[in-house]
Amino acid sequence: MMFKHFDKDKSGRLNHQEFKSCLRSLGYDLPMVEEGEPDPEFEAILDTVDPNRDGHVSLQEYMAFMISRETENVKSSEEIESAFRALSSEGKPYVTKEELYQNLTREQADYCVSHMKPYVDGKGRELPTAFDYVEFTRSLFVN
């Protein structure tokens, strides 16, 4: 939702200034710097989220950054489920292999594919290349 809010032209990507504003609204404490002045904290974030410096952050790059950056701050399985639901088209109770590889780093997607159980629908049918993120996230929070 934050990404869409700052994507004023609905291009599916944020320029660096929009991305910086988005991070600030999410509580990132980034110093105010004058135009053209060095900004090492923000540059370090861009090294991760926009390493090729094409000047834009796509929704996929943003999601991968937020998932990797925010997992250390996760408080509940519901927060992770919400993140997976956002990756899943139409908020389905499963995520496809394709969606994982489109939105996460290769390492993150590989981990999910190797640790998530196949999704089984209400009639007991296993859906090909669909993974049960609800069961997966709840298993992460079992004490």
> Which of the following CATH numbers is that of domain 77-141: 2.40.160.100, 3.40.50.720, 1.10.238.10, 1.20.120.1200?
1.10.238.10
Annotate the chain with three-state secondary structure: CHHHHHCCCCCCEEEHHHHHHHHHHCCCCCCCCCCCCCCHHHHHHHHHHCCCCCCEEEHHHHHHHHHHHHHHHCCCHHHHHHHHHHHCHHHCCCEEHHHHHHHCCHHHHHHHHHHCCEEECCCCCEEEEEECHHHHHHHHCCC
Task: Answer whether 0.85 is exceeded by the pTM.
Answer: no
Confidence at residue 7, expressed as pLDDT on a 0 to 100 scale: 92
Confidence at residue 118, expressed as pLDDT on a 0 to 100 scale: 95
pLDDT tens digits, residue range 42-86? Answer: 998 998 888 888 989 988 888 888 877 665 556 667 777 888 888
pLDDT tens digits, residue range 87-119? Answer: 887 878 899 999 999 888 888 889 899 999 999
If you classify domain 2-68 with CATH, what class do you get?
A: mainly alpha
Delimiting residues of CATH 1.10.238.10 domain(s) in the chain = 2-68, 77-141
